[in-house]
Chain A
Amino acid sequence: MLPLERLVESDRVHRTVYTDQAIFDREMANIWEKTWVYCGHESQLKKTGDYATVQIGRQPMIMVRGTDSRIRVLYNRCPHRGVQLCGSRQGNTGSTFVCSYHAWTFHLDGRVKGIPLSHGYDGTRMGPDNPDCSMKAAARVDSYRGFVFASLSAEGPSLLEFLGDAKIAFDDMCDRSPAGEVEIVPVCHRVMQHSNWKFFMENQLDALHPSVTHQSTGIAAGRVERKLQAEGRKPPLYYHYLSTFASSFDQWDSVQTVNFPRGHGILKGYMGLRPDDPDTKEYVAAMYSAYGEQRAEEFLGRSIHHVLVYPYLSVQSPLQQLRVLRPIAPNETLSEIWHFRLKGVSQAIYRRALWYFNLVNSPATMINADDLENWTKGQWGLESDGGEWVSFHRNHGGDTRENGITYSNNGTSEAVMRSQFEAWREYMSETAP
């Protein structure tokens, strides 16, 4: 592994940050297994004993709702011989975790409940009073507006300090509900990326790629949209979700990115979700009566396309979609894709988010398929000796920095990647515990 200052320069990075196993291992130890990682949403766990398994770095964890209705995050490991206690992705474990190997049982907060023939431990170092007999818990668990995070390190910034201005991702999502809350739709699409996790994070705020990568879908959707209009029919709003991908370079260049400390950021761009129809009018009226006209307009008028919580979360808050990365290897990344329902809105408003989810985020997506192709080929390219550097020179020196926040003055500025790698270098330079 090259020294950090040689891996990351202000306008380029060395290719091995995408390919090297030692660098990947250090990322897991220094970033994922230390910082706050998104686990799930409170509404995923409705009843006592509801659980979902979640990967934090290299650690298999269980997020579970306890008998006191608190949510805890525990290592998915029996303290006896190491066997995982939950073998499903989600379920209900009742009031107890039970090991399938020797029937050790645990309370939902991880404390050991029962050991068969426990007198066998009399006079040994192991016994119900020894904390080593209980399941190990994540050092810290916290939530923000229903979104649950865990940190495997007792030290470090609080969740709100970690999120910083990127907490707007969750505010923007919830504020669009007259009740101020969202509820998870319990369907998770899992997409395997045959590429380093950084490809995804860079791509999400990369405003130059859509009209290139997604042109086939944008053009095909635009053609059918115009055909329906010519026939005097009104194309559904979701066709437009697809056709806008083929907008011109100039148009994409006019949107802006805002880059926060710790690598977080926003791709601006108002999504135009207020067509003039009765459903929208009803929704806006509900928002007005919940928040008053001024605040409601502020919530509905936010110019946000995506928010990134670095290094693993992409939130499309105006449409209540969320994608979270679970890196597996330098060239293998699992993404989990969820969407949420605004509480207190009509089915018609929910359908807008749902149909975006179907079109853009389903495993048969006509959008992300072309992204995945880029990232796979990108990974292959960077594994070669055809060049040593990855270029982030576009508009280098042309961004504006105020109070630690970097504003791109062109939407297509590679400020996004430069900002992410600034954070990456800081994370990676701290020595692992």
Chain B
Amino acid sequence: MSTTSKLEQRLLEDVVIFENKEAQKTGAQSIAPDHSPRQALKGKPLPARSALTETQTAASLQQHVEQFLFHQSELLDEKQWAAYIELFTTDGVYWMPVTPDQTEWLDSPSIFAEDRQMMEIRMGRVTHPNAWSQAPQWGTSHLVGNVVIESVSDTEVSVRSRFQMMELRRDTTRHFAGTYRHTLRRVGDDFKIVLQRVDLLNGQAPFDYVLQIWV
């Protein structure tokens, strides 16, 4: 009688799993490929590099745009709503679509879709003493980075950037992040916002509400 246990026998068996590539499909391979809910990634172009060359002029435009974006963030964190709205042209739009695929805002749902009048309503609402959900008030801190100038013309500059924002209300910290796309119009030495598109990475996560003011 063998002293080798059944377990040891099993461990000693010479099992070749990949003996013949053609002979036996693995479990995963035996599955018809049509089950996958995933679509192949579309051939998205790589993010564009800065349209500027390494010249003094280019560097100063980059700095100028960055300073504008930093200023805009500071206005939000400082709750300077009127000054924030003033950054927009009279026909300027603040837009947060539901998904990054959206290309227009009139005929598809948005999280924010606001012209200056609607922004004025929002400002009036958050500053009203009986805006119950705004008391206690919250605080935010924005960081803007990865600023890439996508195109430049005599009248306009298109800018892509990333943001991180932390919000604190009562004892709850929330964290939002995403991409800004600004279309800036040159006005004298400064800019005005024609369109600020915000693709919020976690805008569709289930919060009690996303935000009561612009990100």
Point out residues on A near B: beta carbons under 8 Å.
86, 88, 91-98, 102-103, 105, 114, 116, 185, 187, 189-194, 213, 215-217, 219-221, 223-224, 228, 235, 239, 242, 334, 339, 347, 350-351, 354, 357-358, 362-366, 368-370, 372-374, 376
Contact = CB atoms under 8 A, between A and B. Distances in A.
Contacts of A242: 121
Given A190-B205, A217-B125, 17 more contacts: A88-B37, A93-B37, A102-B27, A105-B35, A187-B108, A191-B206, A191-B208, A192-B207, A216-B134, A220-B125, A223-B121, A224-B120, A351-B107, A357-B109, A358-B110, A369-B209, A376-B208
9 contacts: A94-B36, A98-B35, A216-B128, A220-B123, A223-B124, A235-B117, A351-B107, A369-B208, A372-B208
A97 to B, nearest CB: 7
Given A116-B27, A224-B120, A354-B107, A96 B132 contact: no
Nearest to A338: B109
B31 A187 contact: no
A132 B207 CA distance: 39
A172 to B, nearest CB: 22
Contacts of A91: 37-38
Contacts of A213: 132
Contacts of B166: none
Interface string B33-72: 0111110000000000000000000000000000000000
B176 to A, nearest CB: 11
A216 B131 contact: yes
B109 A354 contact: yes
Interface in B137-187: none
A92 B33 CA distance: 12
A404 B41 CA distance: 57
A364 B96 contact: yes
B178 to A, nearest CB: 13
B132 A374 contact: yes
Contact of A105 (B31, B110, B211): B31
A103 B133 contact: no
A358 B99 CA distance: 14
Contacts of B205: 190
B212 A366 contact: yes
Contact of A224 (B121, B130, B209): B121
A224 B36 CA distance: 50
A260 B215 CA distance: 43
A354 B102 CA distance: 15
Given A347-B107, A350-B107, A370-B133, A364 B207 contact: no
B7 interface: no
Contacts of B27: 102-103, 116
Nearest to A114: B30
Contact of B121 (A116, A194, A366): A366
B206 A190 contact: yes
Interface residues of B, number: 46
B130 A366 contact: no
B28 interface: yes
A302 B27 CA distance: 58
A97 B32 CA distance: 10
B121 A220 contact: yes
* Among all A-B residue pairs, the 3 with the closest Cβ atoms: A220-B124, A91-B37, A216-B128
B98 interface: yes
Contacts of A366: 121-122, 125, 212
Contacts of B120: 220, 224
Contact of A95 (B28, B34, B37, B121): B34
Contacts of B207: 191-192, 363
Contacts of B96: 364
Contacts of B110: 358, 362
Nearest to A193: B208
Contact of B132 (A187, A221, A351, A373): A373
Contacts of A88: 37
A217 B109 contact: no
Contacts of A351: 106-107
Given A98-B31, A216-B128, A365 B37 contact: no
